[in-house]
Structures are given as C-alpha cells and as structure tokens.
Amino acid sequence: MIEHCLRADGCGMVYDSELVSEPDFSLGDYSWWRDRGSLLGNTSGRGTVYFVAADQGQWALRHYRRGGLVGRWFDDHFIWLGEDRGRSFHEWRLLARLRDMGLPVPRPVAAIYQRNGLAYTAELATVRIAGAKPLSQRINDGEVDASHWRVLGRCIRRFHDAGSYHADLTGHNILLDENGDMHLLDFDRGDIRAGGAWKASNLKRLHRSLRKISVPDGNIDVSEADWRSLIDAYRA
C-alpha cells in the first residue's frame, strides 16, 4: 500500500496509488459511478453503503453522516479541525495501520473531504470483501452456528491485543465471509489505545447489539450459550 495525497480548491484526498491510478475527488460520490454505469447496489445500516465496479475490483463507498440528535440538524457536516483530524483521513490511515498489523479489516482505497468554510463533508472508499455479509444479516438468515461465535471471540481478542479500539462494535459492523472468517469494519472514531476498561465496554456494546438481533420466523434472540461460546474463545 502506497499513500499519496491530492489537494485542490478546498478538497483533499488520500489514496492508495496501487489501487487508484487516476485520482479524482468524485471517486467517493455514488452518483458519479452511477452515471458511468458502474453502480452495483447498496446496503443500509446506520448509513447507506454503495458498491461499485472499479477497474481494480469492487469497492464500497460510504458518505459520513452524524448520528443521534445532532444528526437531525447537521446530517453530514462536521466542524473543520484540520486535514489530519478529518474523519475520513483518520479512518483511512487507521485501516492501513490495522492491515499492516495483519488484522482483518477492509483495505482502504481513498478518503476524501470537501471543505466549506468551517465545515466539511467526507467519503471513504474501501475494497469490498468478496462474499461477505453483516453478521446481523447472517444471524437473521440462520447462517450462524457455534463455530462462528468462537471465531468471532478469537477475532475480537486479536484486535484488543493490538490495542485496536472500535467505537461502535455491533453485529452490523462485523462481516462474516463465505469462508467463515470474520472482519471488522466502520472504524470511524476508532484508534489505537493502551489496555484499559474500554475492552470490557466494547464487549458489552456488542452483547447489547446481539441481544437485539433475532431471526424473523421466531423472534429468537441470540442465546446466552452463543455469547458464552464467544467469551470463552475470547478468553482462551
């Protein structure tokens, strides 16, 4: 992975030159891909992720949006605190660092911002993980068994041992691929930290999320036995 930057007229872009041969600030805009006939579809969670067909393979595009009450008023605008503190640049570089550590996260392609005075908007493009679906969807489709919970427990332990903090560890931000491997995504507001209470908080956040996920035909929550399999693997 080779990092390069492009800046012009209030816009900035950091990108992997091994994947982006012709950098353009429109790379993060799904409508630009749609007009080229390269839009493959989308998925919705906290925000919409668009999938596109690039020359180097399929990418996932995310436009940064606010959550909670603030998001009702400002939606996708953030206060400008400098390029290096921009959300897309920070996440792009964090993903690159996590991949260098050998952790299963999407490969970052490009991070883009458009500044307008004291505010900015931002996008992130990553390589789409082939055959992967959110864990929440796999659960609802009845595709998760005891072995997957053990895999997830070991996966989270790897991230925690590396000091990798995830600000929103939920069943929607974990991907399970067709080979049974787990991947974490959406590291917005994540970082690398020393050990501490945040690890337990991470697990509690995930537990709350999983308890809300149920299969459609019986409204059955993820069982405590499933959670125990995850925790046992995490602690092993």
143, 96: one domain: no
pLDDT classification of 2: cutoffs 50, 70, 90 = confident
24, 29, 76, 168: which is the annotated catalytic residue? 168
Q: Is the model more confident about 170 or about 222?
A: 170
97, 139: one domain: no
224, 112: one domain: no
119, 99: one domain: yes
Rounded Cα–Cα distance for residues 136 and 134 (Å)? 5
Q: Show which of 127, 142, 163 is a domain's final residue.
A: 127
Q: Which residues pair with 191 in a beta bridge?
A: 165
pLDDT at 74 over 70: no
- Beta strand ranges found along 75-157 (DSSP E): 78-79, 108-116, 119-127, 133-134
Q: What is the CATH number of the domain that holds 139?
A: 1.10.510.10
Q: Show which of 108, 127, 146 is a domain's final residue.
A: 127
116, 168: one domain: no
pLDDT classification of 62: cutoffs 50, 70, 90 = very high
62, 93: one domain: yes
Residue of 56, 220, 25 whose CA lies nearest to 126 = 56
**For 211, which DSSP code?**
H
186 part of the active site = no
114, 209: one domain: no
For the chain, the average pLDDT equals: 91
17, 105: one domain: yes
Residue of 171, 173, 181 whose CA lies nearest to 148 = 181
At 158-185, the pLDDT tens digits run: 999 999 999 999 999 999 999 999 999 9
Q: Which amino acid is at 117?
A: G
**Structural domain containing residue 182:** 133-235
How many structural domains compose the chain?
2
